[in-house]
C-alpha cells in the first residue's frame, strides 16, 4: 500500500504545482547544488591543478581533503546557522539560511575535486612531460597543452562525484527551514504521510541518477584517449587511471 500511495502521490499533478510543489522544490535544490558545486570548483580546482603541476603540496592537499571528508555536513551547517554570520538570514533565491547551506555544501564538495585534480596532473606519464620539455614548451604551455588535456577525465570524475554527493546532501537544507526536496521528505515523515516522504526521496534518487549519467557523458566527451578495444581492457599508460583511494597514500608519502 505504501508503494501504491507513493506512486499515486507522484502521478498526481497537483503535487507538482505551486510554491511547495515538487517541481518548484526540485528547481530550488538544483540551483542550490549547482551553485555550491560552482563555488567549490572555482575555489579548489585551480589550486589543486597548480599544485599538481608543480609537484608540491601533495601531502597537504590530500590530507586536507581527507579531513574534509570526516566532517559531517549537517554538523557544519548547524554551526553556521547558530553563528552571527551567516546565520539563518534569507539569501536571495536560496531561501532561509541559504548562505550557510551554500558554504556547508561547497566545503563538502571540495575533497573529491581537490584530490582528483591533484592526482590527475601528477599521474601524467613522465615520458610525456619529458617530450614536452624536449619540444621547448614553457611551463604554462606544458600544463595547458599536455598535462591538463590528459588529466581532464580524472578531474571530471571528481567533479562528477562531487555533483551527485552535493545534490543528495542538499536535502539537509530542510532541517534549517531551507529550500529543496528535503522539505517534502521531512514534512511527509513528520506528519506520518509516508507516501509523501518516500515520493520526495524517489525524486531525489531519480535526479541523482540523471545527473550521474549527464556528468558521465561529459567526462567521456573530454577524454582525449581514442576509443578502441584497449579501452575495454583498461586504460593505456598515457592516461591517468589510479583512483583517489589508491593514489592518496603514495602521493602524500
Domain extents in the chain: 43-224+236-248
Scan for cell 546557522, then name that residue. 81
| pLDDT score of 222 more than 70 | yes
Q: pLDDT by residue (tens digit) across 118-152?
A: 989 988 888 888 898 888 888 888 888 889 899 99
The CATH code of the domain at 43-224+236-248 is 1.10.3720.10
State residue 252's pLDDT score: 40
Banded model confidence at residue 185, pLDDT cuts 50, 70, 90: very high
Alpha helices, H only, the chain: 2-11, 22-54, 58-70, 73-82, 98-122, 126-134, 139-142, 148-169, 182-190, 194-221, 229-233, 244-252
Q: What angle do CA 62, 65, 69 make, to 5 degrees?
A: 140
179 and 23 in contact (C-beta within 8 Å)? no
170 and 29 in contact (C-beta within 8 Å)? yes
* DSSP H or E stretch at residue 150: helix 148-169
- How many CA within 13 A on the CB side of residue 239? 18
| pLDDT score of 210 more than 90 | yes
Largest CA distance in the chain: 70
| pLDDT score of 235 more than 50 | no
Amino acid at each position: 500500500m505504501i508503494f501504491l500511495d507513493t506512486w499515486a502521490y507522484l502521478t498526481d499533478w497537483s503535487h507538482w504545482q505551486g510554491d511547495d510543489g515538487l517541481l518548484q522544490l526540485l528547481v530550488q535544490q538544483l540551483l542550490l547544488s549547482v551553485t555550491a558545486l560552482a563555488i567549490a570548483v572555482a575555489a579548489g580546482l585551480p589550486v589543486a591543478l597548480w599544485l599538481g603541476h608543480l609537484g608540491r603540496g601533495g601531502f597537504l592537499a590530500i590530507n586536507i581533503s581527507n579531513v574534509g571528508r570526516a566532517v559531517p555536513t549537517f554538523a557544519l551547517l548547524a554551526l553556521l546557522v547558530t553563528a552571527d554570520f551567516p546565520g539563518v538570514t534569507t539569501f536571495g533565491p536560496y531561501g532561509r539560511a541559504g548562505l550557510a547551506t551554500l558554504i556547508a555544501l561547497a566545503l563538502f564538495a571540495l575533497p573529491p575535486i581537490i584530490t582528483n585534480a591533484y592526482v590527475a596532473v601528477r599521474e601524467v606519464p613522465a615520458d610525456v612531460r619529458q617530450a614536452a620539455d624536449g619540444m621547448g614548451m614553457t611551463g604554462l604551455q606544458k600544463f595547458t597543452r599536455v598535462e591538463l588535456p590528459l588529466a581532464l577525465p580524472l578531474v571530471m570524475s571528481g567533479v562528477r562525484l562531487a555533483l551527485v554527493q552535493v545534490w543528495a546532501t542538499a536535502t539537509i537544507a530542510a532541517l534549517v527551514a531551507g529550500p529543496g526536496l528535503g522539505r517534502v521528505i521531512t514534512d511527509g515523515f513528520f506528519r506520518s504521510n509516508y507516501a509523501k516522504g518516500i515520493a520526495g526521496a524517489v525524486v531525489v534518487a531519480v535526479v541523482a541518477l540523471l545527473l550521474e549519467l549527464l556528468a558521465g557523458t561529459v567526462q567521456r566527451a573530454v577524454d582525449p584517449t581514442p576509443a578502441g578495444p584497449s579501452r575495454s581492457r583498461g586504460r593505456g599508460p598515457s592516461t591517468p587511471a589510479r583512483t583517489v583511494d589508491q593514489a592518496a597514500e603514495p602521493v602524500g608519502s
